[in-house]
Amino acid sequence: MMVDWRPSASSATLVIRARLLQRIRAFFQARDVLEVETPLLSRAAATDPHIESFLVQDPLGGTPRYLHTSPEFAMKRLLAAGSGSIYQVCKVFRQGEAGRRHNPEFSMLEWYRPGFNHLQLMAEVDDLLRELLDDYLPLADTSRLTYREAFQRYAGIEPLMASIPELQATVRQQGIDITGLDQQQKDPWLDLLMTHVVEPALPQDGPVFIYDYPASQAALARIRQGSPQVAERFELYLGGMELANGFHELTDAAEQRQRFTVDLASREASRLACVPMDERFLAALESGLPACAGVALGIDRLVMLAAGVKSISEVIAFDDEHT
């Protein structure tokens, strides 16, 4: 049997990847942001019901470990210990993520800035993006839209106050297939409109930041009080792809534990694996996480944009089919 041993990415693309990594490190060195490394293996797993961790069993009967889906919790433990501004380039792992823009093993850039809010961090993300892509991709002016503004402009509906029936009517007007959709929850309807209507309509030639998400989609972000409440979170889109996800970070340990508990209940209701929450991370929050903002950026997708290719397999030396 012939086995295809060759890389999935071309040599030219791997050169682009190496140059981008060099520029990333130079960018943060110039801003006095410390590079750190944290473990790939953890006793805890992602509680998020939309993310599945890989479980690693010890053949000698030791404690099972999980491959991390993000370095976030360990990096926040460093922040709580007084690290100051930090960044990390690492591999992360997520089960069930495969496709043109997904691979079960992929590369992430994550960084944290004490004293920043999500709006200030958006500006730094924009600076980084332009410095990295300047030689490869001409970028138009940056757009910033609140989640509410994006839905009003591209879907014709006010998303934060709209009822489920109103969202359902908008979805049906768009001719979107709703087979199997949970009709009792609001977020699935919002997500459907985001992925099928809003995202495809966003400008393609420059960075687009969507920020101030519904409070129900806060994840690990702070919730800003008001009417309605919003999560101080942003996502970055470029060339039709989601590229980064950032938060004005939640520092309240009790609220974070409650969110993890809700996640685990949702996992149980969906018959997903029961996983241990990260008690060391929660203990770090209780000790005191400095006010900060953080962001995770997909390196592979960044290389896709720089190289002008359409598939993540073309920018990874050996994609999932070649391992």
Predicted local distance difference test score (pLDDT) of residue 184:
79
What does the alpha-carbon distance between residue 208 and residue 150 come to, in Å, rounded to a whole number? 10
Pair of tokens at residue 117: 């809010």
Count H helices and E strands in the chain, helices first: 10, 12
Closest CA to 66 of 48, 53, 51, 49: 53
Helix (H/G/I), strand (E/B), else coil: 36: coil
φ, ψ dihedrals at 321, nearest 5°: -75, -15
What is the residue whose two structure tokens read 């920043």?
Answer: 116
What does the alpha-carbon distance between residue 119 and residue 117 come to, in Å, rounded to a whole number? 6
Pair of tokens at residue 62: 């030791």
Q: Are 280 and 220 in contact (CB under 8 A)?
A: no
Model-level pTM?
0.95
Does the domain made of 11-140+203-322 have the CATH classification 3.30.930.10? yes
- Kindly give the confidence (pLDDT) of every residue in the chain, 323 residues in length, as a single tens digit, with 9 standing for 90 and above: 788 899 999 999 999 999 999 999 999 999 999 999 999 999 999 999 999 999 999 888 888 999 999 999 999 999 999 999 999 999 999 998 878 899 999 999 999 999 999 999 999 999 999 999 999 999 999 999 999 999 999 999 999 999 999 999 999 898 888 777 767 789 999 999 999 999 999 999 999 999 999 999 999 999 999 889 999 999 999 998 999 999 999 999 999 999 999 999 999 998 999 999 999 999 999 999 999 999 999 999 999 999 999 999 999 999 988 88
What does the alpha-carbon distance between residue 125 and residue 308 come to, in Å, rounded to a whole number? 21
